[in-house]
């Protein structure tokens, strides 16, 4: 007897009420793709691949629906005929109560948020598309929050746990800057707000904590270097060239002369430089404040860029990644920070300083890469550059109408201001 005839014969037996596991196995063994009614609301589907599944067919709000109850087979992972009937009875009971078993099934799948880490994974995924720098909350969660409370049940989190996280961060960050601790508290509040929004918890255990409980009030940095200090800094960097590469050296020089942000410079592509490296067209997408600007490049900075072009070895980036494993094509956000921190004798990550505090020994008070931008603005003020021109040189945007309609203003004035600064800095750099 061929498969089609065998299939027809078995279906006839089922219609007459002769159903057991042997009948279902025989039906499955025919290998015929089909959808067979077994009894009221219960169907047996054979796929094109020969897999048998139990299907509950029902109506809710007068709309026909189908729900897969499970795959036919032996316990414990699969459903024999008797177990399929049990699952059918459960699904029918839900329908009789006025609910939809498919919706209940989906809801059950969503109820997987048992621990803080479960919630965090959903929260980080939810905010990723809305943030300009989504890696920051990921890093802070992984390094500061997860080690302390990631495995704790959501229902058991209390203010004591929040305090333990903040104490942990304070202990890890041996610094007078409270930024990381305050950022951690901010993300804790956002994380548990997400839990409240989803109805997974009834209150936010971090909400009662204030800045005073974390890192305290953050004081704005005021550090700016004088030309005299810059002379010592560049001399020390050259002297320790084995620990502070030529590429890093020229990056620092460009940051001071151009007044751009570090993130904007390290991601600079050669195709952004126009007219033989005399203009840098920083696009709206690349600018941190989302304001496009044409940056005039002084002659000396153009020469530094020519050297970097040779060193970039065909890369589309001015500062190409130094690790083949890196996904992006340019250096890490931490490269310049770590190189400078090393010269101050401080640890970078897990590594101890390779130079000791050579900058401090030379009489230089501690500074960070971002202070170079403030240095640019301060030196321009000392050079009597008009305030509105100096502000535009570092791409600060005024609020209101003037900020909207004055985007390309002062190009010639800025060109003079950057060139004046380059003339002052070149004798300190080109030695």
Work out the average pLDDT over 287-291: 83
CA distance 391 to 374: 11
CA distance 422 to 414: 12
CA distance 338 to 351: 10
Residue 416 has pLDDT above 90, yes or no: yes
Beta bridge partners of 281: 294
Phi, psi of 332 (to 5 degrees): -70, 155
Fold of 3-110: Double Stranded RNA Binding Domain (3.30.160)
* Rounded (to 5) percent helix, strand, coil in the chain: 50, 10, 40
Which H or E element spans position 66?
strand 63-71
The 3-state DSSP class for residue 216 equals: coil
The predicted-structure confidence for 321-339, as pLDDT tens digits, reads as follows 987 655 679 999 889 999 9
Work out the average pLDDT over 218-234: 87
pLDDT of residue 383: 96
User: Do β-strands 293-296 and 34-39 pair in parallel, antiparallel, or remain unpaired?
Assistant: unpaired
Q: 95-99, 182-186, 272-276: which has the minimum mean pLDDT?
A: 95-99
Structure tokens at 295: 């940056």
CATH for the 116-213 domain, from 1.10.3720.10, 3.30.300.20, 3.30.365.10, 1.10.150.130: 1.10.150.130
**Superfamily assignment of 227-429 in CATH?**
Intergrase catalytic core (1.10.443.10)
Phi, psi of 273 (to 5 degrees): -95, 125
CA distance 21 to 72: 10
- What's the distance, CA 215 to chain centroid? 23
pLDDT of residue 105: 72
Q: pLDDT confidence of 405, banded at 50, 70, 90?
A: very low
Closest CA to 249 of 303, 324, 308, 299: 308
Structure tokens at 430: 């080109």
CA distance 417 to 384: 9
CA distance 180 to 412: 40
CA distance 323 to 171: 31
**Ranges in the chain annotated CATH 1.10.443.10:** 227-429
**Ranges in the chain annotated CATH 1.10.150.130:** 116-213
Q: pLDDT confidence of 399, banded at 50, 70, 90?
A: low
pTM of the model: 0.60
The predicted-structure confidence for 146-190, as pLDDT tens digits, reads as follows 999 999 999 899 999 999 999 988 887 554 467 888 899 999 999
Peptide linkage before 76 cis (omega within 30 of 0): yes
CA distance 156 to 388: 55
Q: pLDDT confidence of 374, banded at 50, 70, 90?
A: very high
CA distance 221 to 44: 71
CA distance 297 to 258: 7
Phi, psi of 34 (to 5 degrees): -160, 170
What contacts 105, CB < 8 A, 6 or more positions away? 67
The predicted-structure confidence for 60-76, as pLDDT tens digits, reads as follows 888 899 999 999 999 88
Beta bridge partners of 39: 42
Residue 212 has pLDDT above 60, yes or no: yes
pLDDT of residue 331: 94
Higher pLDDT, 236 or 398: 236
CA distance 158 to 203: 10
The 3-state DSSP class for residue 350 equals: coil
Residue 350 has pLDDT above 70, yes or no: yes
Work out the average pLDDT over 53-61: 91
Residue 99 has pLDDT above 90, yes or no: no
């Amino acid at each position: 007897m061929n498969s089609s005839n065998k299939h027809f014969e078995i279906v006839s037996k089922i219609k007459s009420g002769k159903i057991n596991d042997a009948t279902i196995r025989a039906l499955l063994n025919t290998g015929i793709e089909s959808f067979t009614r077994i009894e009221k609301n219960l169907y047996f589907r054979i796929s094109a691949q020969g897999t048998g599944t139990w299907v509950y067919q029902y109506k809710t709000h007068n709309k026909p629906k189908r729900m897969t109850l499970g795959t036919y087979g032996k316990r414990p992972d699969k459903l024999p005929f008797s177990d399929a009937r049990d699952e059918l009875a459960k699904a029918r009971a839900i329908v009789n109560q006025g609910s939809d078993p498919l919706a209940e099934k989906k809801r059950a799948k969503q109820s997987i948020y048992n621990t803080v880490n479960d919630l965090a994974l959903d929260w980080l995924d939810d905010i990723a598309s809305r943030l300009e720098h989504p890696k920051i909350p990921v890093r802070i969660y992984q390094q500061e929050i997860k080690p302390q409370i990631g495995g704790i049940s959501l229902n058991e989190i209390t203010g004591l746990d929040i305090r333990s996280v903040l104490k942990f961060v304070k202990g890890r960050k041996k610094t007078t800057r409270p930024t990381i601790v305050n950022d951690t508290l901010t993300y804790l509040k956002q994380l548990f707000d997400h839990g409240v929004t989803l109805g997974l918890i009834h209150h936010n255990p971090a909400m009662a904590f204030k800045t005073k409980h974390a890192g305290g009030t953050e004081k704005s940095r005021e550090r700016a270097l004088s030309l005299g200090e810059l002379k010592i800094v560049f001399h020390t960097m050259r002297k320790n060239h084995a620990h502070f590469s030529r590429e890093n050296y020229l990056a620092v020089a460009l940051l001071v002369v151009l007044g751009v942000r570090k993130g904007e410079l390290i991601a600079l592509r050669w195709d952004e430089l126009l007219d033989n490296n005399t203009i840098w067209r920083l696009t709206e997408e690349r600018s941190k404040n989302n304001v496009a600007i044409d940056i005039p490049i002084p002659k000396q900075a153009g020469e530094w860029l020519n050297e970097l072009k040779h060193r970039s070895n065909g890369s589309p980036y001015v500062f190409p990644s130094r690790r083949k494993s890196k996904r992006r094509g340019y250096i890490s956000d931490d490269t310049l920070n770590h190189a400078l921190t090393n010269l101050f004798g401080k640890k970078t990550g897990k590594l101890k300083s390779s130079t000791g505090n050579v900058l401090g020994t030379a009489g230089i008070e501690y500074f960070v890469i971002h202070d170079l931008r403030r240095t640019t603005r301060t030196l321009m003020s000392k050079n009597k550059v008009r305030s509105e021109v100096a502000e535009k040189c570092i791409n600060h945007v005024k609020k209101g109408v003037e900020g909207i309609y004055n985007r390309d203003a002062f190009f010639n004035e800025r060109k003079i201001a950057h060139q004046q600064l380059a003339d002052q800095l070149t004798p300190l750099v080109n030695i």
